Structure 1
């Protein structure tokens, strides 16, 4: 299995334009939330918790993130927990509300992503490596940490491999 640095550097190579990175700060959370919403049916309540495919996927993703890095993995687990919680609440609404929110957020999220990749001038990372779908949310959290001045060694490693961010001419 690749290291955290390897995953982030490979993903970052497709995301060096700042406008694309900004689009990912919006698009990826919308997509992750949408997937949690859609996968929250079928489900059942037991002991005050909603059990669904969304919970299974979130647990598997959390294990992947925790295996790569404890601190970022804990943060990702908390964020995924919020998405699953929201998905569970919407799964118990009418089918129109559940699907409306799930599919609507999914489409809007991907439109935003593709606008970002237009600025980048490159295809999305997952086209070449399906793991990009799992690494994308972690990339957004890591980029947020970098903006806050955290994880400096990780940031240096990613930039050394992928290059600096810039604004490219479309």
Structure 2
């Protein structure tokens, strides 16, 4: 299994333009919420917990994140639990509301992602490696931590491998 730095660095190679990273702060959470919501049906309540395909996917993702790094794993687990709560709340609503909200979040999230990749001048990471779909939310959490001055050792290691973030000019894309 790759290390945290290896996963973040590989993903970061596709995300060095600050505008692209900024779009990911909006697009990825929307997509995660959409997936949690859309996979919350079918489901059933057991001992106050909503059990659904979303819960299974979130549990597998949480295990992956925890194996990579305890601190990020705990943060991602909390974020996944919040997403599951959101999904469960909408799963019990009418089918029209559940489906329209889920599809809208998913489509808008991906549109925002592709706008960011237009700025980047590069395809999304998941096109070359499907693990990018799982690493993306972790990347956003890590980038937020870096902006807050946290985990500087990880940030330095990622930038050593992927290069610094910048704003690319149109000439750089040619």
User: How far 1:46 moved relative to its partner?
Assistant: 1.0
Q: Which runs of 5+ in 1 are unaligned?
A: none
- The aligned residue for residue 138 of structure 1 is 138
- The aligned residue for residue 24 of structure 2 is 24
- The aligned residue for residue 119 of structure 2 is 119
- The aligned residue for residue 169 of structure 1 is 169
Question: Is the partner of 2:169 in helix, strand or coil?
Answer: coil
- The aligned residue for residue 151 of structure 1 is 151
Question: Is the partner of 1:50 in helix, strand or coil?
Answer: strand
- The aligned residue for residue 51 of structure 1 is 51
- The aligned residue for residue 69 of structure 1 is 69
- The aligned residue for residue 90 of structure 1 is 90
- The aligned residue for residue 100 of structure 2 is 100
TM-score (norm 2): 0.97
- The aligned residue for residue 39 of structure 2 is 39
**Once superposed, which parts of structure 1, at least 4 consecutive aligned residues long, lie more than 4 Å away?**
none
TM-score (norm 1): 0.99
Question: Is the partner of 2:45 in helix, strand or coil?
Answer: strand
- RMSD of aligned Cα (Å): 0.4
User: How far 1:36 moved relative to its partner?
Assistant: 0.1
How far apart, in 2, do the equivalents of 1:88 and 1:74 lie?
A: 21
- The aligned residue for residue 110 of structure 1 is 110
- The aligned residue for residue 6 of structure 1 is 6
Question: Is the partner of 1:40 in helix, strand or coil?
Answer: coil
How far apart, in 2, do the equivalents of 1:10 and 1:153 lie?
A: 17
Question: Is the partner of 1:138 in helix, strand or coil?
Answer: helix
Per-residue CA deviations over 1:38-83 (Å, capped at 9, x if unaligned) read: 0000000111111000000000000000000000000000000000
Per-residue CA deviations over 1:139-158 (Å, capped at 9, x if unaligned) read: 00000000000000000000
Q: Which runs of 5+ in 2 are unaligned?
A: none
